[in-house]
Structure 1
Amino acid sequence: ERKFVGGSGQVSERIMDLLGDQVKLNHPVTHVDQSSDNIIIETLNHEHYECKYVINAIPPTLTAKIHFRPELPAERNQLIQRLPMGAVIKCMMYYKEAFWKKK
């Protein structure tokens, strides 16, 4: 098992450092409406945000607490219900160039 020294929340905090107020941390989402060109997000505090993209960075089982429009496929909901917390962790990294291809 591997862990981030200082916690994985640092990844979100660094992204927020780069993008500023475009990133909303500690704003629990209750609704995601993807039924039009833009996505409408509603938070627990009834705040609304309109955007083109959303990064969902929560454990899959917690997505069951979010109301999606249109609804998520039934297969995904079944998977979410069966997947225990902490079963899957992903880390994605992007590089300016494919340094591993250089000789």
Structure 2
Amino acid sequence: LKDLVAAAPRNLDLRMLLARSYYYTAQLSLAEAELHQVLRAEPAHPSAHLALARVLERQHRCSEAAPHMRVADTMTARDLLALRHPRNSSPRLVG
């Protein structure tokens, strides 16, 4: 995967796959570096925020992970609302 990312550095899907492989093989600093690259290219990438939060939590850096987890949660909630309420109707929040 490293060679593929080197050949296509702007391919964020490949970078995410590489980051996940680093995460699952406990190469956390490499996973973190790849995820930062993804977020530099696409700051609103919810999966990258979630993955980075998990990497940081696994390194016991929970205070650094928290903002990324909040961003991922917010983006996911917004996306779910958009799916349930098309643009021509406004979502109603029940409280």
Structure of larger gyration radius: 1
Same-fold call, TM cutoff 0.5: no
| TM-score (norm: length of structure 2) | 0.32
The answer to which structure has the higher strand fraction is 1
TM score, norm. by length of structure 1: 0.30
Q: Which has the higher helix share?
A: 2
